[in-house]
Structure 1
């Protein structure tokens, strides 16, 4: 895989059982790139390590006054220099390619998982952690994948040089062969502590990132309540904790680096001391001593990659663990069963709560707990928080549908929809049936003022569809964002549309028009609206009260207001005291109602007779004046009467209006 071939057509199925397994899976999937980097790394490191032998041969040639050997040695030096340059160039190229392709694979896997889980992802993993995994953690994982091939080449080079020195000069070679393992493995006891400190640093950095992300997302609200300083102090403390953890981690790694410098130096001193002693005895030549000395000194270069791989693994292991945690998440309804591609039709039924949304009708759901309502809405969309009994659509469990079929069948708009940056045309360019035009959806969602605001806020834009929307629609009010998101959902025109509080941020007049728009545009389509607004509830074909996780009552809004106390507590905010007064003396209220009814009917008959007489004896202008006076009189009566007489008074008002029409 080359960089120009990215992205992958299929990034594969990762082994997300643990962080190390995920790293191993990444390495196996880039075996070709790793072998290529290993080959160039061997050429580079072996060529570097061959320089001491060339220098030793040149020194010995000068001592022996051999011009031919000196010339040959010069040629070998030129050849080694060229091999070093070529090997280093292509090693760097191959290693960087491995780093970028590994990071791209991880990012594709994370993007695919986010698309699969949808909004359920941020309920299982904090949004800040998802951001940290897809940015900083991806870089750490790529660093380890890149360093593996260099470390392997360096380790093989150290072994080759150690064996070569044994054959070249056994008297000095055994000192090097005995000291190299100690130098290479001396830092192993310190790695667990360094890893723990690195993990702590990454954990604190992740928390700080989450805090910053959440603060930026809620900055508007924080400014409204004056909470910027509070969250600034929290982030400052979190940032200082990250700094202290980073300093402690750096101290440990500096100690490891110091050991990696000290021990090779001690080995070099031991080789020189022993070599000088052997040279005095005539057991080694000057050229051989220079060769061994230079080889040990050059070995510091490949030995540095032992520290690099240790650091890369220590930093990448927690990153890989977090990435594996995200990648191991599955849809709660994924049971591994059959996956149908045909989109079913029919009633939407939730066996867990008993909620039934008949096909082709507008069903309103009232739930006293907003969080429970959100979870139920996600459950209806096929994304329950926990695995369990699946929601049925036309008798077919949603978990037996493929993901594409399930999303075509049911669309859920949560209470906090996200608007991506771009033009309005791009925002509304979503997968749709084509039956609903953008103009009709915008009109149904009452987006007229939103379009005007977008045009006024944009330069040289006449068509509202070309107006730009900022990130998450921050330049718009909450109600405007909510209506644009509703229009986007209406354009999609799914078989079942689930709306969670779609009008919570708009005024009552706009809400009433939106209710009519939804009812008209979704006529004949199954729509479920989670709301406690009487304006929406009054226009629903069916209202369902869900109480403590079960369906408690079903009916029309006006019926439930009269008969269901729990329904009134949610919709009308009726208190326990008011409910107790209502239920205290039902017979007295009924008697008062009958008495008021009789009195009003008698008064209306008398006024009707008077009006009829007035119509016969008065002109048109006087009749209109009289009718207005009677209307004002009735309105005053409405203000002065008690709650129990209101219904009777309304009947009287309607009777007067009928008299006015007949006049």
Structure 2
């Protein structure tokens, strides 16, 4: 597998039924690369294993004072060394290629899953866990795929050496045949405890990463309320727990490594003692003993590789379980997706809540509970993490959204949640997204009232640059205030110009004057297009063509903001922040 193919045009459909099945699927995808690694590995290990033949022949030639055999031994040693040196580079390249290819394939699968799920991903799995899977876990899984090719080559070479010893010196060969499996499997009883400790270490590391990600994401808020020290103490405690679990895991692997060295050392002492007895009895020559000793010391290579493979398998199995968990997440509509469908453009109807949004209208939805509003917004966009399989799907122009292909659903309905993500790059890169082409970036920025933001960004440009679209935004837009991030994200959504645009609290961090101008521009720019805004702001509600009040997950009232404020006490309590009326007051 050539690295030129990365990124893959299609990373494939992984088997996510378990962590082990995911590893086996990745191994199958890398089959050609593994065969290449095994081939070069056989040549590499054969060069090492065959060297004792030349050394033993040279020692015996010196004892017998046979210069022709000494010359032959030198030629053989040179040939074996050349084979080892020549194959080493290709062998290393093959195994590293397997590692990088597997890690890249897995990262592509994770990125594809993240793009499919959108904001749903971090609602089901903590952001820190996602970061840990896409970084450390990917590396560990790739490590096992890499080491498996080396282990296979070493194992086949070891088998060939044992068979050769049985023919070369049957008595010593029989001892090696019995001892090598015992040495290899002597660490098996310790694999279970090692895996459990690795699992605990991985869980502690994920928790520490999650705390770090949450702390960095909320650093601005923490500084405002003086909560930095509290989260610092939490992270310090979590990191110390992670350190302690890593030390416990390392102690187990140190014990396994020490056991391997001890067992092999004892085995080598027994073989040498037995071989010297055979030399003294005249049954084998000194050269044959040296050759046999060289063969046996070579066994240390596959034994160490076996230990590394066991370690890689345990860590990768733990990591693969978590990767499979992320990759197994699915939208509720995937099993119903049709192969082809035209983009709907009619009324939006949610049978569960009773919400109906006429096509081409500017509709505001008031839920009272921001979390409930976010869930309803996600449901309209087909992202709902709590969807009941028995619930009817949201209808767009009479077509069930869950029956649309994913790409068509994303094109028809765009949901901007209350915490939109801005990636690092220039302002121009921000608008490098699929769009209808009906709205220009400049018009979208103007509608979102971003003129002052562009003026600030223009001052950050190098001398000679005047185009604010070339200004650089930091990761997640942390160089901007909360209101500025909201307006930039709103401009991006307006530029996409979807058939149905769903905005969840798009102006919650914007001042009143700017919010009023955004509401007017939003209504003008989206004229004739369906726009749903989840908000409780009177300024935005007053500009909406119709307002739907959805308390407790069900539509309670529909009308204009002015009418609902006067006729519905519960609605008035939500949008004016008054105390909710009692049952007696509502009856009166």
Instruction: Bin the TM-score by the shorter chain.
Output: over 0.9
SS at match of 2:543: coil
Select which of 493, 517, 522 maps to 1:513.
517
* 2:315 equivalent to 1:312: no
Show the counterpart of 1:543.
547
Cα contact 2:573–2:581 (8 A) shared by 1? no
Show the counterpart of 2:177.
177
Cα distance in 2 between the residues matched to 1:537 and 1:360: 17
Deviation for aligned residue 1:122: 1.0
* 2:530 equivalent to 1:523: no
Cα contact 1:33–1:98 (8 A) shared by 2? yes
* 2:442 equivalent to 1:439: yes
Q: Output the TM-score relative to the length of structure 2.
A: 0.96
Cα distance in 1 between the residues matched to 2:459 and 2:337: 53
Show the counterpart of 1:88.
88
Cα distance in 1 between the residues matched to 2:586 and 2:263: 89
Cα contact 2:461–2:468 (8 A) shared by 1? no
Select which of 428, 431, 436 maps to 1:428.
431
Cα contact 2:51–2:80 (8 A) shared by 1? yes
Cα contact 2:570–2:580 (8 A) shared by 1? no
Cα contact 1:339–1:400 (8 A) shared by 2? no
Q: String of CA shifts for 1:266-322, please: whole Å, max 9, x gaps.
A: 111111111222222222222222221221122212221011101111111111111
Cα distance in 2 between the residues matched to 1:375 and 1:349: 15
Q: String of CA shifts for 1:93-127, please: whole Å, max 9, x gaps.
A: 11111111111111111111111111111111111
Q: String of CA shifts for 1:70-99, please: whole Å, max 9, x gaps.
A: 221221111111111122221111111111
Deviation for aligned residue 1:453: 1.9
Cα contact 2:147–2:308 (8 A) shared by 1? yes
Select which of 564, 569, 574 maps to 2:578.
574
Deviation for aligned residue 1:337: 4.1
Show the counterpart of 1:352.
352
Cα distance in 2 between the residues matched to 1:13 and 1:583: 59
Cα distance in 2 between the residues matched to 1:185 and 1:421: 50
Select which of 402, 405, 420 maps to 1:402.
405
Give the 3 Å change call, closer, same or farther, for CA 497–228 of structure 1 in structure 2: same
* 2:458 equivalent to 1:455: yes
* 2:160 equivalent to 1:160: yes
Show the counterpart of 2:35.
35
Q: Write out aligned runs for 1:474-485 (5 A).
A: 474-485=478-489
Cα contact 1:433–1:493 (8 A) shared by 2? yes
The worse-fitting range, judged by mean Cα deviation, of 389-398 and 463-472 is: 463-472
Cα distance in 2 between the residues matched to 1:113 and 1:462: 38
Q: String of CA shifts for 1:491-549, please: whole Å, max 9, x gaps.
A: 11111111111111112222222111111111111111101111111221211111211
Q: Write out aligned runs for 1:41-60 (5 A).
A: 41-60=41-60
Q: String of CA shifts for 1:203-231, please: whole Å, max 9, x gaps.
A: 11111111111111111111111111111
The worse-fitting range, judged by mean Cα deviation, of 434-443 and 260-269 is: 434-443
Cα distance in 2 between the residues matched to 1:467 and 1:208: 34
Cα contact 2:337–2:405 (8 A) shared by 1? no
Q: String of CA shifts for 1:217-268, please: whole Å, max 9, x gaps.
A: 1111111111111111111111111111111111110111111111111111
The answer for unaligned runs of 5 or more in structure 2 is none
Deviation for aligned residue 1:429: 3.1
Show the counterpart of 1:370.
370
Cα distance in 2 between the residues matched to 1:575 and 1:193: 58
Deviation for aligned residue 1:30: 1.1
* 2:470 equivalent to 1:466: yes
Cα contact 1:3–1:97 (8 A) shared by 2? yes
Give the 3 Å change call, closer, same or farther, for CA 582–354 of structure 1 in structure 2: closer
SS at match of 1:352: coil
Q: Write out aligned runs for 1:169-208 (5 A).
A: 169-208=169-208
The answer for unaligned runs of 5 or more in structure 1 is 585-663
Cα distance in 1 between the residues matched to 2:432 and 2:301: 56
Show the counterpart of 1:497.
501
Cα contact 2:569–2:581 (8 A) shared by 1? no
Cα distance in 2 between the residues matched to 1:161 and 1:426: 59
SS at match of 1:502: coil
Q: String of CA shifts for 1:556-580, please: whole Å, max 9, x gaps.
A: 1121112212211211222146996
SS at match of 2:326: helix
Show the counterpart of 1:335.
335
Show the counterpart of 1:291.
291
Deviation for aligned residue 1:463: 2.4
Cα contact 1:340–1:400 (8 A) shared by 2? no
Cα distance in 2 between the residues matched to 1:66 and 1:162: 29
RMSD: 1.6
Cα contact 1:47–1:81 (8 A) shared by 2? yes
Show the counterpart of 1:217.
217
Cα contact 1:419–1:427 (8 A) shared by 2? yes
Q: Output the TM-score relative to the length of structure 1.
A: 0.86
- Paired residues, number: 584
Cα distance in 1 between the residues matched to 2:537 and 2:580: 20
Deviation for aligned residue 1:340: 2.9
Show the counterpart of 1:641.
none
Cα distance in 2 between the residues matched to 1:296 and 1:468: 62
Deviation for aligned residue 1:424: 1.8
Structure with the bigger RCO (C-alpha within 8 Å, sep 6+) is 2
SS at match of 1:551: coil
Deviation for aligned residue 1:468: 2.2
Q: Write out aligned runs for 1:117-128 (5 A).
A: 117-128=117-128
Cα distance in 2 between the residues matched to 1:424 and 1:92: 42
Q: Write out aligned runs for 1:101-112 (5 A).
A: 101-112=101-112
Select which of 471, 490, 511 maps to 1:486.
490
Cα distance in 1 between the residues matched to 2:435 and 2:165: 72
Select which of 402, 414, 420 maps to 1:411.
414
Cα distance in 2 between the residues matched to 1:257 and 1:581: 77
Q: String of CA shifts for 1:419-472, please: whole Å, max 9, x gaps.
A: 222222221333221222223222222222222222234343422222222222
Cα contact 2:337–2:406 (8 A) shared by 1? no
Cα contact 1:366–1:532 (8 A) shared by 2? yes
* 2:261 equivalent to 1:261: yes
Give the 3 Å change call, closer, same or farther, for CA 223–63 of structure 1 in structure 2: same
